[in-house]
Amino acid sequence: MPKVKDAAPEEVRAAYELHDEVRTNPGSRRLFEEQPPALDELQQRVVEQLNVQGYSIVPFAELFSEERWEELAADAAVYTREVEALLDGGTAPPPKQPKPGKEPKPAKPGKEKFFLGRRYKKSPLSLDSPWLETAASARMLDIVNSYLRMWSKLSYADQWYSPPRGGEADRLGSMRWHRDYNDQHLVKVFVYLWDVDEGAGPLEYVPGSARSGPYAQEWAWAAGSGETYPPQEEFAERIPQDAVTTFTAPGGSVIFCDTSGFHRGGFATKTPRGVWVFNYVSPAALETLVDRNFEVLPEQLDTLEDVERYAVT
């Protein structure tokens, strides 16, 4: 179904609000109210922390199991080896070779090469992936849905690799402070594949910048808004550094975060950062703002619980 995300801002906003208030989100809220999940103590703590501060961090092995973590880490290591072989120890992929008989194009002045390895950028993943299976599990969804107070949709899952770029490099793209455009009912989950310290581009977040927090109205989220990336110098003047939480954490850490609030990450200066990322949005966003990057075959739906099937269709 065509999205309206590239239409005029007022059209995007109107379409999103229609789905949020009338067409799609009310139904997902009813489903949650009619079938509230029974959370265990750990899940309850994650939801409570999301409600208070907009984020929560928990070891993957506690949320699932050590055996499950070892399986997923082994799968992720396959792509890590592939991308590191491509980089060959460097900080960016090798330049494309020109076709025979043609001269290479000169680099544009002032245009820094920005590389972020995405495992499924060109080929969609499916429920055959243990990572997508985990992202679509009721164990994950019950946390996300309890925070959003609706049955959510999984819209994105991928493995990212950020190579080190040196301390003199500029922040580019999502390394800068921004709100995610995807939705105002949004949870993004980051799974650190190995230890992430200050030199590996940790996730940074401003608690209180989502929902009704003290920074929520600073360049407030709006569907179709062009202000998801505010002027960075002005941002530093209006939001103090001591309001920022930095997620340096060991490998196997799972960070739940409401990224309709301000965040940035991936500014790796000394060592690479490897993460898996899951995006959960409301049905309204899937109808108007975002596309999925994965495919689920009809026969794969038969084994899923209702809440899981809803999340991936």
Structure token pair of residue 80 = 């890590």
Instruction: Give the side-chain half-sphere CA count within 13 A for 42.
Output: 12
55 vs 257: CA distance, rounded Å: 4
pLDDT value at residue 94: 58
**Nearest C-alpha neighbor of 189 from the set 224, 220, 218, 152:** 152
Residue 22: DSSP 8-state: I
Residue environment code for 269-304, b if the CB has 16+ CB neighbours within 10 A, otherwise e: eebbbbbbbbbbbbbbbbbbbbebbbebeeebeeeb
- Domains, the chain, in order of start with CATH, read 9-91+114-312 (2.60.120.620)
Dihedral angle computed from the Cα positions of residues 268, 270, 275 and 277, in that order, rounded to the nearest 10 degrees: 0
Q: What pLDDT does residue 110 have? A: 45
The enclosing H or E element of 281 equals: strand 273-281
Q: What are 57's two structure tokens?
A: 């961090």
Neighbours of 41 (CB within 10 A): 6
H-run or E-run covering 188:
strand 187-192
Contact 12, 222 (CB under 8 A): no
User: For position 91, what pLDDT does the model report?
Assistant: 65
**161: enclosing H helix or E strand:** strand 153-162
Question: Cβ(228)–Cβ(179) under 8 Å?
Answer: yes
Kindly compute the dihedral angle of the four CA atoms of residues 261, 20, 212, 210, in this order, to the nearest 10 degrees: -10
**For residues 288 and 184, what is the distance between their CA atoms, to the nearest angstrom?**
13
DSSP code string of 104-155:
PPPPPTT------EETTSSS-B-TTSHHHHHHTSHHHHHHHHHHHTS--EEE
- Compute the Cα dihedral for 177, 178, 184, 190 and give only its sign: negative
pLDDT truncated to tens, each residue of the chain (313 aa)?
Answer: 457 777 888 999 999 999 999 999 999 999 999 999 999 999 999 999 999 999 999 999 999 999 999 999 999 999 999 999 988 766 666 566 666 666 656 555 444 556 899 999 988 899 999 999 999 999 999 999 999 999 999 999 999 999 999 888 999 999 999 999 999 999 999 999 999 999 999 999 999 999 999 999 999 999 987 679 999 999 999 999 999 999 999 999 999 999 999 999 999 999 999 999 999 999 999 999 999 999 999 999 999 999 999 999 9
C-alpha span between 21 and 186 (Å, rounded):
16
